[in-house]
Amino acid sequence: MKKNLFFYLIVLSAISQSLFSQTSEQDLPSEFGIYTIPLWSKAVLELKSVDSTQFEYRILSLERYDEYYSFNDPQDLFDKQPQENTIEIYFVGAYFNEGKEDSDYKTTLVLRNNLKTPVNYSADIKYYFKEEFENTSIVGAFPNAKTIEMWHRKIDLIALYDFRILDTK
């Protein structure tokens, strides 16, 4: 099963690497499925229940977002009145200090869960110096809370999938 999912993600990656150039507002919202999101993206995902614990998602909006995220002066990136059943995502470069050293730079996924329930999800990432995706660990996303995932190397693409209710017991 995992080999099939990995192959599926690689095929989706190849198709979606040019997501910005091929996607227009007429193409959104997308169909429900699994998508790869390129670095320097702002996206809104709509989640829909599949059963009592699983969700599927589609992309409601996707746009280029070129601003670095500062950990020293964190910005309030999210809508003041978010749409229900969505997750807002910023997949961008970030920095500590003033960004003067290479070690200050990170790749960051900043998201907010606009569902009424905490969720967990799976993510595969493609580093800029590798051809294949690899699974990465993530933290859960609680309702109306900002969650930050951070990697110390540059990532070109992230694939999000397997959204499910977070077991908090």
Cα torsion 9, 15, 19, 23: sign:
negative
Asked if 144 contacts 112 with a C-beta cutoff of 8 angstroms, the reply is: yes
State how many domains the chain has. Answer: 1
Query: How far apart are the C-alpha atoms of 33 and 62, rounded to whole Å?
Result: 15
Tokens of 127: 């580093």
Average pLDDT on 32-58 reads 96
Round to whole Å and give the CA distance between 104 and 160.
26
Q: What is the pLDDT of residue 100?
A: 74
**Residue from 33, 3, 145 nearest 16 by CA:** 33
Q: For residue 103, name the pLDDT band (cuts at 50, 70, 90).
A: confident
The pLDDT value recorded for residue 119 is 96
User: pLDDT band at residue 169, thresholds of 50, 70 and 90?
Assistant: low
111 is in which domain, residue-wise?
A: 2-165
Q: Taking Cα atoms as reference points, which of 148, 88, 76 lies closest to residue 115? A: 88
Tell me whether the omega of the peptide bond preceding residue 143 falls within 30 degrees of 0, making it cis.
no
Selection from 75, 8, 65 nearest residue 38 by Cα: 65
Joined tokens for residue 66: 């070129």
0.85 exceeded by the pTM? no
Q: What is the dihedral of CA 95, 156, 20, 162, to 10 degrees?
A: -100
pLDDT tens digits, one per residue of 109-164: 999 999 999 999 999 999 988 999 999 999 989 999 999 999 988 999 999 999 99
Over residues 67-91, mean pLDDT = 90
Residue 40 CB neighbours (<10 A): 17
